Amino acid sequence: MATTVLVTGASSGIGKATAIYLAQSGYNVYGAARRKEKIQELETYGVKAIALDITKDESVVSCVNQIFSEAGNIDILVNSAGLGSYGALEDVPMADARNLMDINLFGVARLIQLALPEMRKNGYGKIVNISSVGGKVGLPMGSWYHASKFAIEGLSDCLRNEVKPFGIDVMVIEPGGTKSEMIENGAADLARISGKTVYKDLANRVTKMYASLAANAIEAIEIAKLIKNGIEAKNPKTRYMASNARPSLLMRKLLPDKLFDRMLMNQMK
């Protein structure tokens, strides 16, 4: 029987590329997203489309129960659903902040809670959490996004040692700029939220930097291949960095905070 994988955020970007790539590699893949009409096309690649609104517990429970009913278990969980919303901390409405944390953090945690009992029972499981360079490097105007990704890094570190005795591996994927609708949507949010406030000058500079990131972004398939490498490794790494993430992560590790801040802000002049 083929290994069953649940990939969230499968309507676009990394989630979509991963669902297709794993299905084409022989896995039994469920591709989940809120916009089910956007994932119907995945079925032409052998992916089973399933509706999931990660902010609604009843939807999360229904999604997992459907997979258990049809496939028996979830062997591999790829938490790829994510929201990249930007704006100065002072400007972002708390309702927007809570929605982002629901999608990027609490939804991830809830799916893990529901998948773990069967993984423990089977003595096998792989949990793949999509973080970002933004899980180690904080950019201005991205407080809530970076808070969620820093949290994913910490959650994964704690979880890894909790579930290791049960034969379950936890991996973090750290992409750099990746071609998806997230960069474009994030820039639009930034303009809407902080484009006319006291932070407008910085918002404009950050927007230009995002445009540069978009121009040099890697294809999502590169991240899908990293994920496949991780789930097929006998002794997987705790973290898999995309090629375009390495320079920033290395500099963040080596430089003192204020020197790194200066280097970062110089890129936004």
Active-site amino acid positions: 11, 131, 145, 149
Q: Closest Cα partner for 5 from 167, 126, 117?
A: 126
d(CA 41, CA 46): 10
Task: Confirm if 208 and 187 have CB atoms less than 8 A apart.
Answer: no
What is d(CA 129, CA 122) in angstroms, rounded to the nearest whole number? 21
Q: What does the block give as tokens for 228? A: 């496949």
Q: Cα–chain-centroid distance for residue 118?
A: 23
- Supply 29's token pair: 């893949």
H helix intervals, 40-176: 57-71, 94-101, 107-122, 143-163
